[in-house]
Amino acid sequence: MPSGGYLWWYIDALSDDGQHGLSIIAFVGSVFSPYYAWARRRGNHTNPDNFCALNVALYSRQARRWSMTERGAAHNHRDRTRFVIGPSQLHWNGQSLCIEIDEVGVPLPRRIRGTVNLHPQQLFHFSTPLDAAGRHRWGPLAPRSRVEVDLRHPAQRWHGHAYLDSNEGDEPIERAFTEWDWSRSAMKDGSTAVIYDVEPGRANGRLLALRFGRHGSVVPFEAPPRCELPRTAWRLARRMGSEGPVQVVQQLEDTPFYQRAMLCSRLMGEPVTSFHETLHVPRLVSPVVQAMLPWRMPRRG
């Protein structure tokens, strides 16, 4: 990976009974890292492997947890099948992805410990540029998966459906983007519909609307009109393509520069429940936000 670049793997999941949810993001060259940004500004060595983190967020009425401890290169290791980040790791065994979590939450130091096993029902080798120069790319790896969650802290055991994708870039994210909205929706036929709205409403924007089929097909579809959603508590603007009204079912994350929510809307004639997120890059790189981030993203090593 080039200096200043990044790579991440993203997972979201919802239990079959709808009572539990999670998101996990494994970062190399964390785009949210203030330490990585400060090192780039100073012209210091900016090997992405020196800025790795495992972000874990748990969503349930009984227990909400959030952790994102960044670790230096001495505490990380990557090869073809394994990514070790401090005491946690991800391991691909050829059939499924096993995530062994051993993290401490912030701002309250509560333990998150246990395993998450993701079983893809179809693997994809699809990747597409998000910018005109092709320096930033995205692709789903397993948009339709099953998940087994077995946590000791907090005590949770559940099964559900999940999604796995990846983003990578050859330069810092702020060089190419201002904002984007992204959503993924599970369709009745078992396919997954993704809308990636990059630079929404701008001349240099790119709108991806792709349906990933159960047996490996990738089919574009016409994205429905953008619907403006209520601004978040941090006054972050957000949009969702929908054929009808959009309901915010649950606000999962709400920060000055990023939000994640569960939405109900209509897509391709169906009612759908979607994971939706918005990233606003100028807020992320603002000096005020960068000074706040270490409280939520401590660094070790």
Which residue bears the tokens 């179809």? 122
Query: pLDDT tens digit string along 62-99?
Result: 889 999 999 999 999 999 999 999 999 999 999 999 99
Tokens coding 49: 């492997």
Instruction: Fold for 6-300, please state it.
Output: AttH-like fold (2.40.370)
Tell which residue, 186, 22, 197, 39, has the closest CA to residue 116: 22
Confidence category of residue 201, pLDDT binned at 50, 70, 90: confident
Q: What is the mean pLDDT of the chain?
A: 96
Query: pLDDT tens digit string along 205-246?
Result: 999 999 999 999 999 999 999 999 999 999 999 999 999 999
Confidence category of residue 301, pLDDT binned at 50, 70, 90: confident
Tell which residue, 135, 147, 143, 157, has the closest CA to residue 63: 157
Query: pLDDT tens digit string along 263-283?
Result: 999 999 999 999 999 999 999
Query: pLDDT tens digit string along 46-72?
Result: 899 999 999 999 999 888 999 999 999
Confidence category of residue 113, pLDDT binned at 50, 70, 90: very high
Composition of the chain by helix, strand, coil, percent to 5: 10, 55, 35
Domain boundaries, the chain: 6-300
Yes or no: say if 128 and 137 are a contact pair by the CB < 8 Å rule: yes
Tell which residue, 300, 301, 248, 299, has the closest CA to residue 278: 248
Cα dist. 263→17, 21, 142, 154, 276 in Å?
A: 17, 14, 21, 26, 7
